[in-house]
Structures are given as C-alpha cells and as structure tokens.
Amino acid sequence: MSDLRYAFRTLSKTPAVSAVVILSLALGIGANTAAYSMFDQMLLRMMPVPDPQQLVAFYHPGPVQGRASSDDRDMPAFTYSMFRHFQRQQPESLSGVIGSRIFPGSLSFENTPAPGEYCLVSGNYFEVLGVRAALGRVLEQSDETTPGGNPVVVLSHGYWTRAMGARTDVLNKTMVLNGQLVTIVGVAAAGFRGDTGGRPPELFIPITMTQLVAPGEGSLDDARFYWINVIGRMKPGVKLEQAASQLQVPYKAMLEDGEKLLVQPSHDFLRRFRMKRIVLKEAGSGRGGTRGAREPLMLLLAITALVLLIACANAANLMLARGIARQREIAVRLSIGAGRLRLIRQLLVESLVVSVLGGLAGLLAAQWTLDAVLAMLPAEAMTVMRAELDTRALAYTMGVALVCGILFGLYPALQATRPGVNPTLKDTGGVSDGSKSAKIFRNGLVMVQVALSLLLMITSGLFVTSLFKLTKVELGIAAVDQIVAVTVRPRLLGYKEARLTAFHDALENRFRSLPGVTNASVSSVSILAGDNYRSDIRVDGFVPKDAGPVRSYFSAISPGFFATMGVPLVSGRDFLPSDAEGASKVAVVNETFVKTFFEHGDALGRRMSNENRGPLNITIVGIVKDSKYSAVRNEPRPVAFLPYRQAADMSGSMTYYLRTREGAASLAQKTRAEVSAVDANVPVAGLKTLRKQVDDSMFHERAISVFSSTFAFLATIMSAIGLYGVLAFALARRTREIGIRMALGARPADVRRLVFRDLTILGGGGAAIGLSIALAAGRQLEAQLYEVKGTDPLVLGVATVVVILAVFLAGLLPLRRASHVDPMVVLRYE
C-alpha cells in the first residue's frame, strides 16, 4: 500500500507525462482487446459441452463424383450411407459418431412465418455432445427409427427466448417447419449454438426427417450425394493421429464400394480417388461457419499487436526519461540505505499502476471499437458476434495490461537504479542524460516506433488501395442502386414443380405492378451473395485438355432477367414465356462460357448437357455480356442461364430483383404484402438493394481498411509523440552543453544542425527498417489484396512520405527551442 500511495503521488507530479502514457496504452490495449474479443467469439471459444477438446471433425479431401453440398467450407461432406458405416464400424478410439447438416428454412409458430436455420441431426447428437435439455427433453436414438416417422424438434435456447418469450407451455405444441407439422419436445441448454461456428440453428430435428423437411437438399438413399457433416468424440487419452489411423480401415472399404459407382473415371481421377484418406481436425470450437474470417481476424490481431508494441515503446521511453530525471532522488535513497531491489519494486509498481489505468481506459476503447465493427457487420452476421466484453475479454485485458507494465517498466527501473551515488550527488552541473546503454535503448525504441508506424501505414495503404479498386470493379450490371433483391423459398413449404411455377409467375407479375417498379425478374442464384450452383456439363464439340470433369456455373432465371439487371445481349435471343416445361430446352450463356468451350466463338445453335452423362438436349440460343456472379473479387466465370420453368430442380430458393426508382425501405412493406397475397406462409428474407449486397460482400475488406487506416494514424501520432519526447528530453539534458557551444561562437544554425542530425538518424533509420520489413510483409499480404502488389511503389512512396513528414513535424519544436537557447542565462543558472 505504501508503494501504491507513493506511485500515485509521483505520477500526479507529472500529470502530462502520465496522461500521455496512459492514453497510449489505452489505445493499444483497447485495440488488442477488441481484436481478441472478435477472434475469441468467432474462432476460439469452445462449445459449452463436456470435454470439447475430445471432439474431432471428419474430412476426406479429394475428388468425388455426384452431388456435393455442405455448410462447411472444407467440402465435400459424406453420404448418408458413409455416415452410418462410420457408426457401425466405430473404432475403439471413438466413443461416438454424430452427423449434422444446417439448412435455411421456413419456421412458423402460431401462424407467424419467419425465415430461419434448422439442423438435421442424428439421434445420438445430443448424447455424444453431452448437451442436456433446459426444458423437456433432447432428441434420442428412438427419434430416428423410421424415415419420416418422427416429426419432433428441439428448440435452441436462443430461439425459444427470442421468438417464444421463454414460454414453458410450448412443450408438445406444434409448429410448422417447411410446411410440415412438427412437435416441440424440448429446449436445448442455454449457450449451446450447435456444432458450427457460424450462424446458430433455431431448431434441431432428426436426420431421418430429411425427405419431408428438406426435399432435394439431402438424401438417405443416394450413395453419390455428399451432404452430411460428421463429428466424432475421442475417448480420454486418445491422440488425434491414433483416431485418424483407426478410421482408415472402414474408410478404405467405403472407397472400394464408391469406386463401383464411378461413371467413366479417368486414370488420374481413379488414382487420386484411391489415395484419399480420412483427415481429422479439432472441432472443440465448432466446425466450418466463420472459418473464412480467420485470415482477416489474424491480420487484425497482428495490426493491433503492432499498435500495442508502439504504445509500450512510447511508455518505456517516457518512463526511462523520467527515471533519469529522478537520478538524484534515487541516489539519495540509495545513499541512506535503500536496497536496489526495493527501488526496482517501487518503480515497477509505478509502471504497473500506469498500465492498469491504461487497461481500464482501454476497455472503453475496446467497447467503442466493437460497436463500430458491429455497425459495419452485414445483417446475416449479427448472430455470430456480439459487441460485448465478457469475463474472458476482461481477463485478457488485465493480463495484457500487467504484461505491458512489466515490459515497459523493467528496463527503465533497472537503468534508473544503477547510478553511481557519489558522482550523482557531487554533480553540480546538472544530471546527465543517462548511460550509453540507456541512450541506445531510448533511441532504439524510437526507431522501432517509426519502423512499425511505417509498416502499419504501408499495410493500410495496400488495403485502402485494394478496397478502392474493388469499389471500381465493373460489375456488368447497370445502376445497382436501383435494384432491390428479395428472397423467398416456397419449395421449403412443399411446393412441387407446377405449383412452384404458378407461384413464381403470380409473384413476379404482382411485383411488376408495384408503383415505381419498372421491371422484375427472378433468379435461383443470389447475385454477389456468395451463392454458387456448379455442375458437370458436356458441350457439343468440346474436348477437354485433361481428363478431369468439365464444369460450368448455372442459374435458373425468368424472361426479362437481363433487362432487369441491365446486362446487354450480345447475340441471339432472350428467354421467352414459351420456354417452359415440355418445350425444347434452351440456354443463354455468357461471353466467358463461349471463350471457354468454343474456340471459334460459334456458340449459337450448339448443344450441351447440364450433367456429365445423358443426351445433349439443351440448345444455346443467346449470348450475354459477362457480369459478376457470386463475388466482386472473382474473375468472370463460365455461366449458363436456364429458364426457371425448365429447371425446377434449381428453383428451391429464388431471389427476385426489382428495378425501381424507390429505395429498399419504401418497398419493404409492399413486397411482404405481395408475397402474403400469394401465400401468407412464405417468409420473406434478404430484402436489400443490390448496392447494399455489394457492400456486404466486401465487409472484410472494408473493415480491414478502416481499422488498419485508423490504427496506422494512431501509431504515427504515438511515434511522433515518442520522438518528440526523446528529442525534447535530450535537448533539456544538453541545455548546458548547447549554452557553452553558443558562448564559444556556435550559431543557431549550427545548433539546429546538431538536433537535425539526431532527428535524421532516428527517423531515417526507423523508416529504413520499416520499409524493409514492409517489403517482405507485403508479399505475404497479396492473397488478401485485389489487383494490388504488396510492393506497390505508389503506396510505399506515399506511406514513407507521410511518416517522414510526421517525424519532422515532431522535431520542429525541439529544433526551434535549440536555436533559441540564451547562453548567458544558461551559464548564470548553472
């Protein structure tokens, strides 16, 4: 307590210095806390289940034939028969194997339809994970005895609380999932959000209900349909490699069975198929989901760590300068018997007090940062991350604060307590500016600050340039601000082909009749939303260069779609209302499709098939200009457009595009009313302008650009403050020397040159180091950039000029003071 009281009293004597140190640390610690909180929530946090470290996800990278679909970016998943084989042939190293798959669905409780997510799970799902019910019961093995015979669901705790007000009377009540009546038998434990790191499901339903609630999305019979994700629980003490090794035996048998189902495989395909092996990955924090955010979040962590290093360097320099200024005080205390360890403890307490205060202030900075991130998040990601600092984030903040306190306080404490007592007490000409090692340390910290600032400034410049180029990408779509997208999924309610076509025709006509709407069309693929529909194809006259599968991207659309999107027709014709089921099958392809499959460009009238077998029964009747398909970043892909009346299997989820002179807000209620007029049970999802969709698709790039620029700006300011502090301190300690020089004839210009030399060495040396590091780091960043090299000369040049300018601005005041020293005043004072 005595140390604490003395620390506060000492810090209060130099409030300006203390405030600068605390503010620097608050910015550095706050930025790190916010980045850690995001990383923790999205990637690190373990599932709230017993022994989550025992959970492993199954993967089998390599080629497959047939249909592959997954909610995990590490495709492909497994077929239903493979999953059951794993359960039957479960190795000794595993205590259980479960299967799951998340789908979007239509949920309706008490006649209130809404879009949501549901998870098809095996009967042992909750048992193996160790999740109990908060109300009622969880699913059991007996719930999947008969395909389609157990329409029971377990609600997630979040959905039960949010949509049903945590009512306890919901047990045994019915609700509608994708048009099917299901009975609520329980509510999962609070905090359990499923086995994926992404958006949590609202409902859990037996996997054997697939054919009823997810027709066409999954299959219990098709041995060529890969759609189920598999997770196992290892027994205590079992290693990952041991479990993976034991799984190769049953998997080899599956490969042998699967080889019999291959259709005309090439020699290379067969070789790679036979070489496939099971790979296990730790799944304690979930699988898939937000794994695509790993690289941006890692980059954000690295950027905030650099900011914290600069803040610590700043604090260390200021503490070192203050320690040197207190040499006489320390020498007096040493001379009257104080031990060196006692003084080091006192000085460390002071630095820890500063760092803890910086950490507390950093919590505010972290909360503001998280709020800013949440404001930038797309609506679809709002359930993945929360702008809240939990106990883990608080513990992290305090841990970082304590480490920082020791990091920037230890060397200054050691340095300040090693003066020679006699020389210090006898020195009547002012206290020295420290030992040679202290000067080297102090100047080295400044150079590190300048180097890291330049590195951050260059990184920021690269991402800002990349984002600028992304915003200027030609989408191939006219006036995206005037296009509103709205998604509906009537197939989830049991709509079949004829009824589905009638629904789309009626809704499209109603949308066209809305005031302000000039055109309306429908597409099975949501443009620029990350959706893809890819299939094997055969094209008349095209011979692939290798023996691999030939594939193209597809979309089922309505007549007038290209006019709605403003995509011009190059040649041929658009679809007509007569291009319906029963008529000759037709397709319109984009320019990249023509370049890929027709060497001489003569695509009109040629025939193709949208599978790798069967007749060439689709005639190409039109060619349109290239436009962006699933992402702004992607280069043009070969895309074949089919009339949605002839591609009912692709029309489960359909997105309507309305070209309008009004905004999305004014159309929101109108579109919902029109959908309800056709079928009140069909929920509306994803209502936004295409411009908003484009902005949401670039969220990662925008967030990294904003935060890297902000942190680079703060880092440069902190470096400038640190440089100013070192120069001002050195100048103050050399005032007597400068006075003598001027008394002996030195001119103000000579003195300025002396200070300018130090400024050049510190700033120029730091910039040189930072530039060399940035050149190496830029090459590693190129995968995250769009059409920007990591060594872009313009970015390197502008960033270097900005940092050098900040360095010299920081040195202006010390330069001015140095040239205005009055030698008579200095000598008379000394």
Convert the pLDDT of each residue in 45-73 to its tens digit: 788 899 999 999 999 988 888 877 777 66
Q: Is the pLDDT of residue 9 over 70?
A: yes
Name the pLDDT band for 428 (thresholds 50, 70, 90): very low
Summarised one tens digit per residue, pLDDT across range 515-548 is 888 899 999 888 888 777 888 888 888 877 765 5
Close Cβ partners of 709 (under 8 Å, ≥ 6 residues apart): 460, 463, 464
Q: For residue 591, what are the CA distances in angstroms to 142, 565, 571, 596, 605? A: 54, 16, 10, 9, 15
List strand residue ranges (DSSP E) for 392-516, in order.
Answer: 483-488
Between these two residues, 338 and 92, which has the higher pLDDT value? 92
- In three-state form (DSSP H/G/I as H, E/B as E, the rest C), the secondary structure along 743-762 is HCCCCHHHHHHHHHHHHHHH
Q: What is the mean pLDDT of residues 750-771?
A: 82
Q: For residue 185, what are the CA distances in angstroms to 113, 148, 191? A: 20, 16, 19
Tokens standing for residue 119: 């998870």
Close Cβ partners of 297 (under 8 Å, ≥ 6 residues apart): 35, 38, 39, 42, 43
In terms of DSSP H, where are the helices of 513-651?
561-565, 591-597
Name the pLDDT band for 18 (thresholds 50, 70, 90): confident
pTM over 0.75: no
Range with top average pLDDT, 114-123, 711-720, 746-755: 114-123
Determine which helix (DSSP H) or strand (DSSP E) holds 3, and give its type and residue range.
helix 2-13
Range scoring the smallest mean pLDDT among 414-423, 603-612, 614-623, 681-690? 414-423
Q: What is the mean pLDDT of residues 402-430?
A: 69
**If DSSP codes are grouped into helix, strand and coil, which group holds residue 514?**
coil
Q: What is the mean pLDDT of residues 599-611?
A: 84
Determine which helix (DSSP H) or strand (DSSP E) holds 378, and give its type and residue range.
none
Residue 158's nearest CA partner among 117, 126, 130 is 117
Distance CA 67, CA 73 (A): 15
Calculate the CA 241 to chain-centre distance: 29
Residue 384's nearest CA partner among 58, 33, 39 is 39
End-to-end CA distance of the chain: 39
Between these two residues, 761 and 76, which has the higher pLDDT value? 761
**pLDDT confidence of residue 379:** 57
List phi, psi (to 5°) of 589. Answer: -120, 160
Distance CA 385, CA 147 (A): 36
Q: Is the pLDDT of residue 733 over 80?
A: no
Q: What is the mean pLDDT of residues 133-139?
A: 95
Q: Is the pLDDT of residue 175 over 60?
A: yes
Q: Count of CB atoms within 10 A of residue 127's CB? A: 17
- Asked if residue 231 lies in contact with residue 98, where contact means CB atoms within 8 angstroms, the answer is yes
Q: Count of CB atoms within 10 A of residue 95's CB? A: 14
Distance CA 713, CA 370 (A): 19
Range with top average pLDDT, 391-405, 618-632, 743-757: 618-632
Q: What is the average pLDDT value for the chain, to the nearest integer?
A: 83
Distance CA 36, CA 39 (A): 5
Determine which helix (DSSP H) or strand (DSSP E) holds 686, and give its type and residue range.
strand 684-689
Range with top average pLDDT, 193-207, 260-274, 553-567: 553-567
Q: What is the dihedral of CA 44, 49, 52, 54, to 10 degrees?
A: -160
SS3 content of the chain, % helix, strand, coil (to 5): 55, 15, 30
Give 47's strand partners.
Answer: none
Q: What is the mean pLDDT of residues 481-507?
A: 82
Distance CA 73, CA 530 (A): 12
Calculate the CA 2 to chain-centre distance: 47
Q: 794: buried, middle or exposed (CB in 10 Å: 19+, 13-18, 0-12)?
A: exposed
Name the pLDDT band for 685 (thresholds 50, 70, 90): confident
Summarised one tens digit per residue, pLDDT across range 790-822 is 888 999 999 999 988 888 888 777 777 766 666
